[in-house]
Amino acid sequence: MNIALFGGTFDPIHRGHVIVARAAAAKFGLKQIWFIPADIPPHKQKAPITSFYHRYAMVSLALAGEREFVPSLLEAADPAIDGGQHKPSYSIDTVRRVKQTLGKSDRLYFLIGMDAFQDIAKWNEADELLAQCDFIVAARPGFSLADVASSLPEKLRPPPAVTKLFRKQKMEGPLVLPGVTLHMLPETHENVSATQIRAAVDRGSALKRLVPDAVAEYIHKERLYRNSATRKVATGKSN
């Protein structure tokens, strides 16, 4: 069975996330995609983010009715393990835990957008993470195959002369290099971002075209993302 892990902050999850997942499932024969909100995203430890409770709730609402999509608690803090101390959610740890549960015939993928893949070389144990499973990189406007190659950790990058040849090539087809296999997912043309959604809430604009209806209702009910420019970290469920 082909399984993909789709991690992120999901603050909030939006229609773009779901559309990318549907496209990946169709193109690569994925039987399951696990949406994994990070409790403490390593790259956003100092940035204000909404509580894990709210973000996981919105993921669950967005995926209701999507048979192949699974909301996951894999990166939720576990007081029994962490001793009550919240620690950053590293993807390499998540991948290792998942692989321990898979069968011999299962194949694991890691689904990621090109905007996030640009920083992959800065991730914890990036070389090992890229070796542990195939990556599916969702294309974004303005990026070429050269951008993908140059984003890799230094020792995994192809020679400069090869990367130069990629500059005029769209993000298409697989990119197989020693120690890493990358599959390209064509653009889905769904230009939505979490920043755009938070700004829309601030303006009082409708969210129907940006997030699933159930998520829009949840944001309104829980009064999330009000004054998002100066918002503080939400802690726990709103009354």
If you write DSSP's letter for every residue of 149-195 in order, what string do you get? HHHS-GGGSPPHHHHHHGGG-BS-SEEEETTEEEEEE--------HH
Question: Amino acid identity of 199?
Answer: A
Over the range 23-56, which residues count as b (16 or more CB within 10 Å of their CB) and which as e? bbbeebebeebbbbbbbbbeeeeeeebbbbbbbb
Inter-residue contact 132 to 92 (CB < 8 Å): yes
pLDDT over 80 (residue 5) = yes
Give the model confidence (pLDDT) of 155-209 as tens digits. Answer: 999 999 888 888 888 898 899 999 999 999 999 877 888 889 989 998 888 898 8
Residue with tokens 């809430």, as numbered in its chain? 201
Give the model confidence (pLDDT) of 35-66 as tens digits. Answer: 999 998 886 656 689 999 999 999 999 999 89
Q: What pLDDT does 89 receive?
A: 86
Sequence-separated (6 or more) residues with CB below 8 Å from residue 80: none
Q: What pLDDT does 88 receive?
A: 84
pLDDT over 70 (residue 86) = no
CATH of domain 2-185: 3.40.50.620
Q: SS3 of 1, please?
A: coil
Backbone angles phi, psi at 221, to 5 degrees: -65, -45
Q: What pLDDT does 234 receive?
A: 42
Q: What pLDDT does 237 receive?
A: 35
Query: What dihedral angle (degrees, nearest 10) is formed by the CA atoms of 207, 210, 215, 221?
Result: -20
Q: What pLDDT does 238 receive?
A: 33
